[in-house]
Structure formats: C-alpha cells, structure tokens
Amino acid sequence: MSTDGFLARYPDWEKQQTDRGVDVEWVKAHLKELAIETPSWGYGDSGTRFKVFQQEGVPRSPFEKIEDAAMVHKVTGAAPSVALHIPWDLVDDFSALKKHAEDHGIKLGAINPNLFQEDDYKLGSLCHADPKVRKKAVRHMLDCVAIAQEVGSNIVSLWLADGTNYPGQGDFRRRKQWLIEGLQEVIAAMPGDMRLLIEYKFFEPAWYHTDIPDWGMALLLAMKLGPKAEVLVDTGHHPQGTNIEHITANLLDEGKLGGFHFNDRKYADDDVIVGTMDPYQLFLIMKEMVAGLLDPATRPTAERVAYMIDQSHNIEPKIPAMIRSIMNVQRYYAKALLVDFDALRRAQDAGDVLGAEAILQDAFETDVRPLLAQVRAELGLHPDPLTAYAESGYAEKIQARGKGGQSWSS
C-alpha cells in the first residue's frame, strides 16, 4: 500500500487529537528524535541452552552485522547505531569497521565487554578470588574503553555474570570490594564524555547469589564510582511482578538512569521481542520517561538515556524481528507522549484514583498507527517498515550468505 493510501485510512486522526488538546506537532517532534540502538548479536544465530539454531542469510562477520543493522535503520529511521560485543565483534581494524558503518549510514554504539565465556571466569571475573583473574578482567574492560574511543562511542555497557552457586562458596563483602576496585580502575581510564552503564540481573548463570542482582546494587556501585557511572535497566532482568516503571522513576530522580536494554519476558530472561508479552508495562516505563522529559529537574538525565534493544531472536527471522522491536518501542513511546500530564496531576492531587487511572488507559488505548505513519512519511519513509523491508529485496539478497554465520556466542 502506498503512503498516501495508508494515511487515507485515518483522515481525521490528527484533528481528533488536536480537538482533545494534544499538541500533535510536539508529539511528532519527539518521535522523530527517538533513537533506538540495535545489538550486533541480535543479528547472529542464536538459540537456547540446548541448541543454537542456524538460519539462512545470517551475518558471517561484524561487517555484515553492520549491513543488517543499517537496513533496519533504513526502513525505520530510528536505529542509527549498533552496539558491539567484544570479543564477538573483534576485528583487526576498528577504524575500518567504523568507516563501514558510516558508509552504510549508521554509527557504532555501546561497547559491551564479555566477562563470562572464558574458562578463567568459571568462578568469577572482577569478583574472582584470584587477583590474576581480576587483573585479566580489568585489562579486558580497559581494552573495551580503548575500542570505544577508537570507534567514537561514549558508552561501555557492563553486564557482569559473576556470582556463586552455593552458600559459603564466596565472601559477599570481599567480592563487592574487589568489584569496586576493578571498576574504579576502569572509570579512571575513561575520557570525560564516556559513561559506564552498569547492568543488573537477579539470577543466571549463578544460582545462589549474583554480585550485581538488582537496581539497588547497581545504583550503589554507580554512586560510589562517581558521575561517569550510571545504571542500565534490562527489562527482562527482574523477578516476576517487579515494578520497572517505579525503578525508572527513581533512577531518573537520582540522575543515575543511563539506559535501557529492551526485551520482554514471560518467565525469566526470555529475551523475546519487546512489547509482545506485557505492552502495558512498556507503556508505563515510557510514561515515566516522558514525565522525566517534562520536568526541568530530570530533563538532563532523561535526554541522555540510551535506548537499546537486547534480544535473542531464536526462531524468528532476525531482521524482521528487529524491525518489529523498533516499531513496538516507537508505538508505546507515542502512546506515552499522548498522556495528559496536567490532568493526571490534578486527578492525583484530588485523590481521584479512577480518574487518574482512566487518563493513562485513554492514552494507552489510542491507536497511534496513523501518527507513526505520518511521522515516517514526513521523514521520507514507507509508513510500514516491515512492508518496506519485504519490498526491498534485501532478504533475498542475503540468502547468498548461506548458513553457518556468526552466532551470538562466537
């Protein structure tokens, strides 16, 4: 369907929203500014703990991962950077990789150190009892800082798998002290504009305790490490029922929310497409982000938050799944931008419980597809990115790669 044909399905949408008091141009401007980073590992072969499933056309190198990420940006207009995982994306010449990205219209984003796949890290990395292993882990992180500088990235994103499987296996306080000492050395090597985003996860692969299990520990570390350290919220890394929007609000208020890794989950860290299991939660998270932008006290933090995808597409085709992820983040951000925050504040102050909840439901239930179609049209894009991808011929082109491309763990 043509752009005009698609928009013709909703001829009165903008007038209807304007009549409700929505500043549609303001909403569109914020949607156009939304940038969502995709992960290189999301384009590679992936699977479960039992098997990695191979697909036709999967990238065989970091250069081909960048080409796939560039295609996602080409059809969405909202994914201008791609995160790297080291050593999965290790190359001989990072300046050449950077130029390859620029030639394809995107840039290299967050650098993610890998401190969990070597035999030396069986009992931990930065928290290991052996100082030689801790030094090795710090050296790897320092290498990642250098790579970030070389490719022009200002974010190093740390997920630490360290933990123990049994009571008594490790000393909690000593491990914490070792962790702080190692990260202090990393922070000291970072230039002034670079940030360390500290991710947390309450379990897996360690079963008894994890050294950075929750946002409280991540925040504690970030506060001890100073202004270059912030917290990264992975939406799949929480126990069931966790109020992630509450965490978002508190980290914003403390000036320590550094970024998101978006994905969704049903049971644990399932890494499925964001917005597919609990779209209302995603909307409520975005509502806190919009509230943060509207408040002068939290706006500086909200404006620098890094929006990133972190998913493992096991059974679905890689590129369409990533496009869907971007579209879902856009959709629920758009709905959050429609919240009448002035009316919400009045209802809150008046103790109008049902009225306040109804204001959020009204925004959540609004069909924003015509709004997003209009934004894409104004950016010179097809109103439906998945259709644009299907019509591009790219899926057929990459079949020449065959099977046996890089996996997320290679």
- Residue 381 inside a domain? The answer is no
The half-sphere exposure of 157 on its side-chain side, counting CA atoms within 13 A, is 28
- Residue 222 inside a domain? The answer is yes
Mean pLDDT over 339-346 rounds to: 97
The pLDDT score that the predictor gives to residue 37 is 98
Mean pLDDT of the chain: 94
Mean pLDDT over 155-179 rounds to: 98
The pLDDT score that the predictor gives to residue 20 is 78
- Residue 288 inside a domain? The answer is yes
The pLDDT score that the predictor gives to residue 249 is 98
Q: How many CB atoms lie under 10 A from the CB of residue 316?
A: 14
Burial class (CB in 10 A: 0-12, 13-18, 19+), 8: exposed
- Looking at residue 84, its amino acid is L
Q: Which helix (H) or strand (E) holds 196?
A: strand 195-199
Q: What does DSSP assign to residue 184?
A: H
Question: Which pLDDT band holds residue 1 (cuts at 50, 70, 90)?
Answer: very low
285/180 Cα distance (integer angstroms): 29
251 close to 243: Cβ distance less than 8 angstroms: no
Mean pLDDT over 265-274 rounds to: 94
- Residue 94 inside a domain? The answer is yes
- Residue 156 inside a domain? The answer is yes
362/370 Cα distance (integer angstroms): 17
The half-sphere exposure of 134 on its side-chain side, counting CA atoms within 13 A, is 18
Question: Where in the sequence is the domain holding 234, given as residue range(s)?
Answer: 27-338
In percent, the amount of the chain with pLDDT more than 90 equals: 88
Question: Which pLDDT band holds residue 51 (cuts at 50, 70, 90)?
Answer: confident
Mean pLDDT over 370-389 rounds to: 95
Mean pLDDT over 94-120 rounds to: 98
- Looking at residue 358, its amino acid is A
pTM: 0.95
Residue-wise pLDDT tens digits, 309-328? 999 888 899 999 999 999 99
The half-sphere exposure of 62 on its side-chain side, counting CA atoms within 13 A, is 23
- The torsion of the CA quartet 198, 202, 207, 210, rounded to 10 degrees, works out to 40
Q: Which of 206, 207, 270 is nearest to 237 (CA)?
A: 270
The pLDDT score that the predictor gives to residue 6 is 52
The pLDDT score that the predictor gives to residue 11 is 66
The pLDDT score that the predictor gives to residue 9 is 63
Q: Which of 229, 246, 312 is nearest to 281 (CA)?
A: 246
159/320 Cα distance (integer angstroms): 26
CB burial of 337-359 (b: ≥16 within 10 Å; e: otherwise) equals bbbbeebbeebeeeeeeeebeeb
- Residue 2 inside a domain? The answer is no
- Residue 393 inside a domain? The answer is no
- The pair of structure tokens assigned to 48 is 């479960």
92/138 Cα distance (integer angstroms): 21
- State how many domains the chain has: 1
- The pair of structure tokens assigned to 109 is 């984003």
17/383 Cα distance (integer angstroms): 19
In percent, the amount of the chain with pLDDT more than 70 equals: 96
Instruction: Give Cβ neighbours of residue 121 (< 8 Å, ≥ 6 apart).
Output: 115, 128, 133, 137, 161, 162
- Residue 126 inside a domain? The answer is yes
| 49: CATH | 3.20.20.150
CB burial of 195-218 (b: ≥16 within 10 Å; e: otherwise) equals bbbbbbbbeeebeebbbbbbbebb
The pLDDT score that the predictor gives to residue 57 is 87
144/111 Cα distance (integer angstroms): 6
The pLDDT score that the predictor gives to residue 346 is 98
**DSSP readout, 31-97?**
HHH--EEEEGGGGSBEE-SS-EEP-TT--SSHHHHHHHHHHHHHHHS---EEEEEETTT--S-HHHH
263/324 Cα distance (integer angstroms): 11
Q: Which of 281, 279, 295 is nearest to 331 (CA)?
A: 279
10/277 Cα distance (integer angstroms): 27
